[in-house]
Amino acid sequence: MEITVDVHTVHPSSSKTSHHTSTKGAYGSWCTPQATPTRDILTKTVYNIETKTNVQDDTGQHRDRGIFPLQKVRLLTSSPPPRFNSKKDVIEKDTELKDFKNLQSRDNSLKRSPDRKLVPIVETPQSPVPSSPSRYKKCKGLVLPAFCDPFVPIDPQGRGYISWLLLVTFCYGYNAWCVPLRTTFPYQTPQNTALWMAADYLCDLVYLLDVALVKPRLMFLHEGFWVDDLRETRRNYRKKLQYKFDVISLLPLDVLYFYFGTHKVILRFPRLLKLQTFWEFHQAMDRVLSSPYVVRIGKTLFYIFYLIHLNACAYYAMSDYIGLASNGWVYDNQGNAYIRCFYFATKTATSIGKNPKPENTAEYLFMTAAWLMGVFVFALLIGQIRDIIATATRARAEYRKCVDGCARYLRRLNLPRALRRRVACWLHYTWTQQRCFDESKILNSLPYNMKRDVALAVHMSTLSKVQLFRDCSASLLRDLVLQLRPLSCLPGDLVVRRGDVGHHMYIVKSGECYVMSQDEKEVLATLREGSVFGEISLLGIDGLRRRTATVRSRGYSNLFALSRNDLDAALKHHKEAAQILRLRADQIIRENAARQTKQRLAKLEAKKSASNEESTARKRRQSGASIDSSQGRRRRSASTMSRRRLSAVSENKAQGDDAPPPAYPQARTPLPTIVYSSANES
Ligand SMILES: Nc1ncnc2c1ncn2[C@@H]1O[C@@H]2COP(=O)(O)O[C@H]2[C@H]1O
C-alpha cells in the first residue's frame, strides 16, 4: 500500500515539532543529529503511518530479507521504516497513531493562536541520528553517551565520531613519526623503553577499539538512506578495503620482541597502514570547518615535514651504517642528532644551499634520490599549497577585480565624483555584508528544495520577525523565500519615491527606513527589522498603482525586495496573506488620508484666518483712505476757491493788462490721497 505523506506536515525537521517535548532517539534514525531532541515527535508520526502500512502489507517479510525491501518502503512513504520486535510493538505504535491525531489537533490550535511565533521551518537534509530503540534501554541506567554505547549505531557526521577520528589520527601520527625515529636514531634506551612501550600499547588499544567497536557501528548511506542496522553496518565495514588495512595494521608482530629484543621497533611497521583513518579525519574536518583551507594546508605541510623526517631518518641510518663522522658527507656526530639530520634533509630535499659532496656510491644514490624527491614531490606539494591559497582568496580577488572594473568604467563615463564614491561605497558595503555580489549565482547550482532550505536557514532570523509570515501559514514563507532579492542601501538612499509606479515590495532585513511625508519634511514612520513596506501600490487598492509615500534609508540598511509578479503568484494561493496585507494597506491609506485631511483643514483654517486678517486690514485701509479723500476734497475745493479767487484777480488784472487767461487743467495738483495711501502700506 502506498501512502502519500505531506512532507511539510510530517517532516522530522519541521519546525512545528519544536513546541513539543519528546523522547530522544526512541523511534529510529531519520532526522538530523542537531534536530533530534526537538524533532522526533514528527518522526514518530511518520513511523506511525508507516507502521500501519507494514502491518497491512508486508508483515514479517521485510525483516527476513534484510534492509533493502525496507528501504523501498521508505522510498514509497518518504519516511524511515519501523521496527517490529513483537506484537506488543505493533499495539504500542498503534496507540501512538492516536498521539499523532492529538498532535495534529494541537498543531492546528497552535496555528489558530494569534500570538503564535514563527519557528524555523528549514528542512535539513536527511542525516542519521544515533538511536537503537530496543537495546538503548539496556544502557539507560549507565547514562552512557550514545557514542560509547556498543548497541547504538554511530553517526559518521556527528561530533563524537569526529572527535574519535582525531584521537585515532593522533595515534597514527605518533606511530608514523616515532617508528622510523626509534628505528634509526638511538632515542630508545633501556631506561625509557617502558615509557615508549606504554605509549605504543595505548595507541594499539585505540586502534583495537576503532576496529572492534567504532567502525563496525558506523552508519552508511544506501540508495540515499542511512542504514543504522548494526548487522548491516558491521557487514558493510567488513566489505571495505579499509577493514583489511585496519586489521593488518593491528598485526601483533611485537611478539617477535621476545626473539629480537625491544629495540627492533621496525616490527611496529604495520601500524603505519592505518592511513585511511588519517584521510578520513581530514575529509571530515574539511566538511565541518568553515575555512577548510587551514586543514588542507595542514595536511600538505604534514606530508612535506613527514618526507623530510623520513629523509632525516634515512640520512642518520646511512651515516650510522657508513660510520658517524667517517667522511665529509655523513653526519659528524656533533650536536643534536635529529635536528642536524633534519636540517641536512631539508637542505637536500629543497635543493637550497650548498650540500656536502657525496664520496661513495651509496652516498651518490642517496643524494640523487633526495634531489629527485625534492624536484617532483616537493614541487607538487608546494604547488598544492599555492592552489589552496589561490582558492581561498579567489572570492576576494574577484571582488577587487569587480571594484576596479567598475571604478574604471565610471571614470571613463566622466561621472561626478560624488556618484563614483557612492558606487564604490555600495560595492564595499555589499561585499562586507554578503561576501559576494550575486548570491543566486552560488545557490543556482543546488537542487530547488536544497536551495530553498539554504535560503530559509540564511534569512530565518529576519523572516521570523515579519508579522505577515507569522500570521500566515508557513508554506507562504517557503513559497516566497527564493523570490526575495537582497538589496543594500546607503545612508539617505531613496528606496521608493512617492508617485512612482510600484514594482516591488520590501522587507527590512537590517537597518532603518523612514517613511517621509508629502513635503519630505516630516517622518511619518520608522521601519525597522522585519517591517514590510511598498505593498500598497502592489496591491492596487482603489486603483492605486503609485507609491503613496517616499521611503528613505536612514543609515546603511539591508532589504529584501519582492517583485509584483512573485507576490501576486504567492497571494493567489495564500488568500489569508492577501487579506492581511490588504487590511494593513487599508489602515495605512486611512491613516494617511486622515492625516492629509487634517493637514488640509489646518491649511484652510490658516488661509481663512489670513484672509480675514487681510480683509480687516483692507477695511481699515479703506476707512483710512475715505478720511484722507474727504480731507483732500476739502483741500482741493479750497485750492479751487483760491485759484478761482486768484484767477478773478488775474482776470481783473488782464482785463486791465490784456494778458491771455492761464489754461485751467495745467493748474491741477497731483492727488494727495495716492501719495498718502502708498506711504501707509509700506
Ligand atoms: N503612514 C505610514 N506608515 C507606515 N508605512 C507607510 C505609511 N505610509 C506609507 N507607508 C508605506 O510606504 C510605502 C510607499 O509605497 P507604497 O505606497 O507602495 O506602500 C507604502 C506603505 O507600505
Q: pLDDT tens digit string along 492-529?
A: 889 999 999 989 999 998 899 999 988 888 899 999 98
Residue with the bigger pLDDT between 180 and 570: it is 180
Is the CB of 525 within 6 Å of ligand 1?
yes
What are the contacts of 438-447 at 24+ separation with CB within 8 A?
439/486, 440/485
Distance CA 431, CA 6 (A): 39
Atom of ligand 1 nearest to the CA of 550: 14
Is the CB of 537 within 6 Å of ligand 1?
yes
pLDDT beyond 50 at 319? yes
User: With bands split at pLDDT 50, 70 and 90, how would you rate the model's confidence at 337?
Assistant: very high
> Which pTM was predicted?
0.51
Q: What is the structure's pLDDT at 239?
A: 92
Question: How do 504-510 and 557-563 pair as beta strands?
Answer: antiparallel
Q: For atom 3 of ligand 1, which residue has the closest CA?
A: 525
Least confident of 7-21, 160-174, 267-281, 372-386: 7-21
Q: What is the structure's pLDDT at 340?
A: 94
Q: What is the structure's pLDDT at 299?
A: 87
User: With bands split at pLDDT 50, 70 and 90, how would you rate the model's confidence at 180?
Assistant: very high
> Ligand 1 mean position to 461 CA, how many Å?
24
Is residue 372 classed exposed, middle or buried when 0-12, 13-18 and 19+ CB atoms within 10 A define those classes?
exposed
Is the CB of 487 within 6 Å of ligand 1?
no
Q: What is the structure's pLDDT at 36?
A: 35
Is the CB of 591 within 6 Å of ligand 1?
yes
If one residue of 531, 539, 551, 567 were mutated to test the ligand 1 pocket, choosing by the most ligand atoms within 8 A of its CB, it would be: 551
User: What DSSP element (H or E) covers 636?
Assistant: helix 575-657
Q: What is the mean pLDDT of residues 398-425?
A: 86
Q: What is the structure's pLDDT at 172?
A: 95
DSSP secondary structure code for residue 573 in this structure:
H
Most confident of 144-158, 322-336, 344-358: 322-336
User: What DSSP element (H or E) covers 235?
Assistant: helix 230-239
Those residues with Cβ within 8 angstroms of residue 258's Cβ, 6 or more apart along the chain or in another chain? none
> Ligand 1 mean position to 285 CA, how many Å?
49
pLDDT beyond 70 at 192? yes
CA distances from 323 to 266, 316, 317, 320, 328 (A): 21, 10, 10, 5, 11
pLDDT beyond 90 at 254? no
Q: What is the structure's pLDDT at 657?
A: 40
Is the CB of 242 within 6 Å of ligand 1?
no
**Residues 589/541, Cβ–Cβ less than 8 Å:** yes
CB contact burial 608-640 (16+ within 10 A = b; e otherwise)? eeeeeeeeeeeeeeeeebeebbeebeeebeeee
CA atoms within 13 A on the CB side of 3: 22
pLDDT beyond 50 at 403? yes
> Ligand 1 mean position to 539 CA, how many Å?
12
User: With bands split at pLDDT 50, 70 and 90, how would you rate the model's confidence at 628?
Assistant: low
Q: For atom 20 of ligand 1, which residue has the closest CA?
A: 534
The predicted-structure confidence for 600-623, as pLDDT tens digits, reads as follows: 898 899 988 888 888 888 888 887
Is the CB of 567 within 6 Å of ligand 1?
no
Distance CA 123, CA 43 (A): 13
Is the CB of 564 within 6 Å of ligand 1?
no
Is residue 161 classed exposed, middle or buried when 0-12, 13-18 and 19+ CB atoms within 10 A define those classes?
buried
Residue found under cell 507609491: 547
Distance CA 236, CA 227 (A): 10
Least confident of 24-33, 98-107, 256-265, 444-453: 24-33
Q: What is the dihedral of CA 18, 20, 21, 25, to 10 degrees?
A: -60
Cell output for 193: 623503553
Is the CB of 549 within 6 Å of ligand 1?
yes
**Residues 315/345, Cβ–Cβ less than 8 Å:** yes
The predicted-structure confidence for 633-654, as pLDDT tens digits, reads as follows: 666 655 555 455 544 434 443 3
pLDDT beyond 80 at 583? yes
Those residues with Cβ within 8 angstroms of residue 308's Cβ, 6 or more apart along the chain or in another chain? 342, 345, 346, 349
If one residue of 495, 536, 539, 547 were mutated to test the ligand 1 pocket, choosing by the most ligand atoms within 8 A of its CB, it would be: 536
Paired residues of 508 in beta bridges: 559
Q: What is the structure's pLDDT at 665?
A: 36
Distance CA 490, CA 433 (A): 12
Closest CA to 468 of 603, 368, 578, 566: 578
Those residues with Cβ within 8 angstroms of residue 423's Cβ, 6 or more apart along the chain or in another chain? 406, 407, 410
Mean pLDDT of the chain: 73
Is the CB of 79 within 6 Å of ligand 1?
no
Angle at 591 between CA 588 and CA 597, to 5 degrees: 135
> Ligand 1 mean position to 533 CA, how many Å?
6
User: With bands split at pLDDT 50, 70 and 90, how would you rate the model's confidence at 141?
Assistant: low
Residue found under cell 634533509: 345
Distance CA 31, CA 125 (A): 8
**Residues 202/167, Cβ–Cβ less than 8 Å:** no
User: With bands split at pLDDT 50, 70 and 90, how would you rate the model's confidence at 410?
Assistant: confident
Q: What is the structure's pLDDT at 632?
A: 58
The predicted-structure confidence for 557-579, as pLDDT tens digits, reads as follows: 989 998 988 888 888 888 888 88
Q: What is the structure's pLDDT at 211?
A: 94
> Ligand 1 mean position to 468 CA, how many Å?
15
The predicted-structure confidence for 471-480, as pLDDT tens digits, reads as follows: 777 778 888 8
Question: How do 513-516 and 550-553 pair as beta strands?
Answer: antiparallel
User: With bands split at pLDDT 50, 70 and 90, how would you rate the model's confidence at 33?
Assistant: very low
Residue with the bigger pLDDT between 443 and 95: it is 443
Q: What is the dihedral of CA 148, 154, 159, 160, to 10 degrees?
A: 20
> Ligand 1 mean position to 419 CA, how many Å?
28
Q: What is the mean pLDDT of residues 259-264?
A: 88
Reported ipTM: the value is 0.97
Is the CB of 502 within 6 Å of ligand 1?
yes
Closest CA to 81 of 112, 103, 55, 100: 55
Those residues with Cβ within 8 angstroms of residue 137's Cβ, 6 or more apart along the chain or in another chain? none
**Residues 267/257, Cβ–Cβ less than 8 Å:** yes
Is the CB of 534 within 6 Å of ligand 1?
yes
Is the CB of 536 within 6 Å of ligand 1?
yes
Percent share of the chain, pLDDT over 70: 69
Is the CB of 551 within 6 Å of ligand 1?
yes
**Residues 127/156, Cβ–Cβ less than 8 Å:** no
pLDDT beyond 70 at 286? yes
User: With bands split at pLDDT 50, 70 and 90, how would you rate the model's confidence at 210?
Assistant: very high
Closest CA to 155 of 225, 212, 211, 218: 218
Distance CA 25, CA 36 (A): 7
Query: Crossing angle of helices 36-57/67-77, nearest 10°?
Result: 110
User: With bands split at pLDDT 50, 70 and 90, how would you rate the model's confidence at 68?
Assistant: very low
Distance CA 550, CA 307 (A): 68
Those residues with Cβ within 8 angstroms of residue 353's Cβ, 6 or more apart along the chain or in another chain? 347
